[in-house]
Amino acid sequence: MDKRRSLTHVAMLVLCALFLYSCSGGEKEEATESAQPQEEPEQIISYLNQDVSFGVFFDEKGTRRTLDLDRDQKEFDVYIIINFPEDIEIAAAEWRLELPEGISVINDKYILNRTISMGLMDYGLSERFPCVSGPSCLLHTLTLRTDRELKNAEIAVLPSTEGEFLGVAECTEGYPQIRATSFRGVVNPGE
């Protein structure tokens, strides 16, 4: 029992010494930092890349961006797909879904192997998944329902509200971000 107490006391003394040393060292660093010009923190640079795009499609292949609903049809599927070059891999995506008034999501079938998802689709969703190779990645298959007749109803993928970012993270060291463009889908397009 005495041995445990003495080990505990020694550990406490070591921790106190480390704390005092780190505090005294911090004051010295502040004094030298104020004399030298401060360096900018390293930032990950992101850029808009026309080769990386999100799209709202009405087929799994990502070829149909318009849909004509039958007269009594109230439900339909939408596919959120990211297109990107074959020579890169992506590991994350950030985006937001904008739906017209009268349309709601009733089912969401997402990429099965995603490891984390944070946020809400209508404000901004950040998703992480194992590395995916190009040329495309089907992120979500959404079943939507409408409670009214639609005309030129645009469904859009936009930058997140909070971070104002629409894009992906590459699957390389540091996970550099790539800003993406997006394509809207239109339900019952007008003439």
- In this structure, the answer to whether residues 26 and 59 fall within a common structural domain is no
Does 87 map to a domain? yes
Q: Give percent of the chain above pLDDT 70.
A: 73
Q: What is the pLDDT of residues 23-82, one digit of tens each?
A: 344 443 444 444 444 554 444 444 456 799 999 999 999 999 999 999 899 999 999 999
- At residue 11, the pLDDT reads 39
Report the candidate in 58, 29, 49 with the shortest Cα–Cα distance to residue 90.
Answer: 49
- In this structure, the answer to whether residues 28 and 72 fall within a common structural domain is no
Report the candidate in 147, 1, 152, 151 with the shortest Cα–Cα distance to residue 74.
Answer: 147
Q: What is the pLDDT of residues 79-119, one digit of tens each?
A: 999 999 999 999 999 999 999 999 999 999 987 688 899 99
Report the candidate in 119, 115, 91 with the shortest Cα–Cα distance to residue 177.
Answer: 91
Does 41 map to a domain? no
Query: What is the domain count for the chain?
Result: 2
- In this structure, the answer to whether residues 20 and 54 fall within a common structural domain is no
What letter represents residue 117's amino acid? Answer: S
- At residue 46, the pLDDT reads 44
Cα three-residue angle 62-108-148, rounded to 5 degrees: 85
Does 43 map to a domain? no
Does 134 map to a domain? yes
Residues with Cβ within 8 Å of residue 190, at least 6 apart in sequence: 151, 152
Pairing outcome for strands 66-67 and 103-110: unpaired
- In this structure, the answer to whether residues 59 and 149 fall within a common structural domain is yes
- In this structure, the answer to whether residues 62 and 25 fall within a common structural domain is no
- In this structure, the answer to whether residues 79 and 24 fall within a common structural domain is no
- In this structure, the answer to whether residues 168 and 89 fall within a common structural domain is yes
- In this structure, the answer to whether residues 115 and 22 fall within a common structural domain is no
Q: Is there a contact between 98 and 56 (Cβ–Cβ < 8 Å)? A: no
Three-class SS state of 61 = coil
- In this structure, the answer to whether residues 17 and 53 fall within a common structural domain is no
119: containing domain: 48-187
Residue 111: phi and psi, rounded to 5, are -50, 120
Q: Is there a contact between 49 and 164 (Cβ–Cβ < 8 Å)? A: no
Q: For the domain that residue 136 is a member of, what is the CATH number?
A: 2.60.40.680
Residue 190: phi and psi, rounded to 5, are -80, 170
Does 40 map to a domain? no
